């Protein structure tokens, strides 16, 4: 209880905002190369054995990597209940499409090699492509809509009303953000495949990865230019009570052009986030050109982290703006759970997160090394 009293409410809110970012980065960096591998699968594998090499490069780790998605969803539910209520209800159809893909993916992994029929295996290969492309695209589309503001408001009794449609989510800027997501995960997967495979598969992955890295840089830059010159952002116009109750309607806010770049002007050190995004993607490109798969994987991971951090740095203290009523926008300091809830969750996270990191590190250590065609043939009864 002494520690509970020492950690002030505003400190816990900031800690959980940072932890949410870490969980999202953890998911994007680990499960991201799984999803990206699905995107690249039909193009880097020209025959059955090559595609099996690609699938088996992620086969032992993809299930464990999805832990980060579960942790992220759980953190939103427990730490930011209003964010959970708006996003999981307003984006319901989009979430359903993502879940459909994530449910189909293990089915495709398990059933793909159950029959020798070429047509059967090809259908499951394209299913894995779909299961990699769709979540990658929609996650980026969701970020694009967050940056524009989501159409929700509060009633007089604080009931949340979402007034948007699924098709409205697929607007041009959101789709641009979706393409950034697809490109950066394809880049990340290419680094993984160059690191884990040899021969023709690695060479094709290298070529596609260089293209994906160039697209990541170009599309990310375009999104930034549009945010600065065309798109509007949100700004708080009242005093922010960092210790206040979780009631978004107690503040005032406005929509203003270029507002998402005000944090960079006020706190220049936050520019490290977008710089890391660009440097990571360019570093991945150079590493792929040099056929350094491990370095390319590291650089693409840093680039992904930088791109995600740049969104958080731009929007802070907002976590979900409202396009219908800027006052209803959810912020770090007015939409969290109680002080005690955040503290109990922090204790649990301090216990279990190191365990997750430890066994994840151990698994990757055990599975270190490349996957080649001979290994797949020798493990006929065990490989995918």
Instruction: Phi first, then psi: give them for residue 362, nearest 5 degrees.
Output: -65, -45
**Contact between 205 and 42 (Cβ < 8 Å):** no
- Distance in angstroms (rounded) separating the CA atoms of residues 208 and 375: 25
Beta bridge partners, 322, equal 150
Please tell me the least confidently modeled range out of 36-50, 156-170, 260-274, 293-307: 156-170
In the chain, where the domains are located: 2-378
77 pLDDT band, cuts 50/70/90, is: confident
- Counting every residue written for the chain, the total comes to 384
- Distance in angstroms (rounded) separating the CA atoms of residues 144 and 183: 15
- Distance in angstroms (rounded) separating the CA atoms of residues 235 and 263: 10
Q: What is the pLDDT of residues 205-259, one digit of tens each?
A: 999 999 999 999 999 999 999 999 999 999 999 888 888 888 899 899 999 988 9
| Percent of the chain at pLDDT exceeding 90 | 55
Q: Is the predicted pLDDT of residue 374 greater than 80, yes or no? A: no
Q: Is the predicted pLDDT of residue 272 greater than 90, yes or no? A: yes
Q: Is the predicted pLDDT of residue 184 greater than 90, yes or no? A: yes
Mean pLDDT across the chain, nearest whole number?
A: 90
**Contact between 205 and 44 (Cβ < 8 Å):** yes
What's the rounded mean pLDDT across residues 175-179? 96
What's the rounded mean pLDDT across residues 176-184? 97
**Contact between 306 and 278 (Cβ < 8 Å):** yes
Task: Look up tokens 């492509």; give the residue.
Answer: 129
Residue 383's pLDDT is 63
Q: How wide is the angle at C-alpha 172 spanned by C-alphas 261 and 138, nearest 5°?
A: 90
Residue 382's pLDDT is 56
**Contact between 305 and 276 (Cβ < 8 Å):** yes
Q: Are strands 152-154 and 330-331 parallel, antiparallel or unpaired?
A: unpaired
Q: Give the single-character DSSP code of 114.
A: S
What's the rounded mean pLDDT across residues 129-141? 95
Cα–Cα distances (Å) from 115 to 48, 121, 152, 235, 346, in that order, read: 12, 7, 49, 57, 47
- Both tokens of 352, joined, read 């279990």
- Both tokens of 298, joined, read 């590291």
105 pLDDT band, cuts 50/70/90, is: very high
- Distance in angstroms (rounded) separating the CA atoms of residues 213 and 202: 16
Residue 224's pLDDT is 94
What's the rounded mean pLDDT across residues 294-309? 95
74 pLDDT band, cuts 50/70/90, is: confident
Q: How wide is the angle at C-alpha 19 spanned by C-alphas 18 and 23, nearest 5°?
A: 120
Residue 161's pLDDT is 85
Secondary structure class of 213 (helix, strand, coil): helix
Residue 380's pLDDT is 56
- Distance in angstroms (rounded) separating the CA atoms of residues 99 and 265: 39
131 pLDDT band, cuts 50/70/90, is: very high
Beta bridge partners, 384, equal none
- Both tokens of 356, joined, read 């997750």
Neighbours of 171 (CB within 10 A): 13
Residue 287's pLDDT is 96
**Contact between 304 and 184 (Cβ < 8 Å):** yes
Residue 3's pLDDT is 60
Q: How wide is the angle at C-alpha 185 spanned by C-alphas 94 and 194, nearest 5°?
A: 150
Closest C-alpha among 318, 313, 339 to residue 248: 318
Residue 352's pLDDT is 86
pTM: 0.92
Q: How far is CA 171 from the centre of its chain?
A: 19
Closest C-alpha among 226, 239, 229 to residue 179: 226
Cα–Cα distances (Å) from 172 to 144, 176, 306, 315, in that order, read: 9, 6, 23, 20
């Amino acid at each position: 209880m002494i520690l509970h009293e020492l950690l002030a409410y505003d400190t816990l809110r900031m800690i959980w905002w940072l932890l949410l970012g870490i969980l999202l980065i953890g998911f994007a960096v680990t499960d991201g190369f799984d999803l990206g591998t699905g995107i690249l699968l039909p193009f880097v594998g020209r025959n059955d054995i090559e595609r099996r090499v690609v699938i088996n490069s992620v086969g032992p780790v993809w299930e464990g990597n999805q832990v980060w998605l579960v942790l992220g969803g759980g953190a939103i539910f427990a730490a930011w209940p209003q964010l959970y209520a708006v996003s999981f209800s307003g984006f319901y159809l989009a979430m359903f499409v993502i879940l459909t893909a994530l449910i189909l993916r293990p089915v495709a992994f398990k059933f793909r090699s159950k029959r020798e029929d070429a047509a059967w295996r090809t259908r499951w290969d394209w299913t894995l492509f779909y299961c990699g492309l769709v979540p990658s695209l929609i996650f980026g589309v969701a970020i694009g809509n967050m940056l524009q503001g989501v159409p929700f408001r509060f009633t007089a009794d604080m009931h949340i009303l979402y007034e948007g449609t699924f098709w409205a989510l697929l607007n041009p800027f959101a789709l641009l953000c979706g393409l950034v997501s697809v490109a950066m995960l394809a880049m990340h997967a290419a680094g993984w495949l160059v690191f884990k495979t040899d021969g023709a598969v690695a060479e094709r992955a290298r070529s596609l990865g260089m293209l994906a890295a160039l697209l990541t840089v170009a599309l990310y830059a375009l999104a930034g230019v549009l945010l600065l010159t065309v798109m509007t952002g949100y700004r708080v116009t009242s005093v922010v009570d960092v210790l206040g109750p979780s009631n978004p309607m107690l503040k005032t806010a406005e929509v203003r052009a270029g507002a998402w770049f005000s944090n960079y002007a006020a706190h220049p050190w936050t520019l490290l986030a977008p710089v890391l995004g660009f440097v990571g993607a360019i570093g991945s490109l150079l590493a792929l050109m040099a056929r350094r798969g491990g370095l390319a994987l590291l650089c693409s991971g840093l680039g992904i982290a930088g791109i995600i951090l740049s969104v958080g740095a731009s929007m802070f203290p907002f976590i979900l703006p409202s396009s219908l009523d800027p006052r209803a926008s959810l912020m770090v300091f007015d939409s969290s759970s109680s002080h005690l809830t955040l503290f109990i969750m922090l204790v649990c996270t301090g216990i279990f997160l190191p365990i997750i990191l430890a066994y994840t590190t151990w698994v990757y250590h055990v599975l270190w090394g490349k996957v080649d065609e001979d290994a797949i043939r020798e493990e006929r009864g065990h490989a995918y």
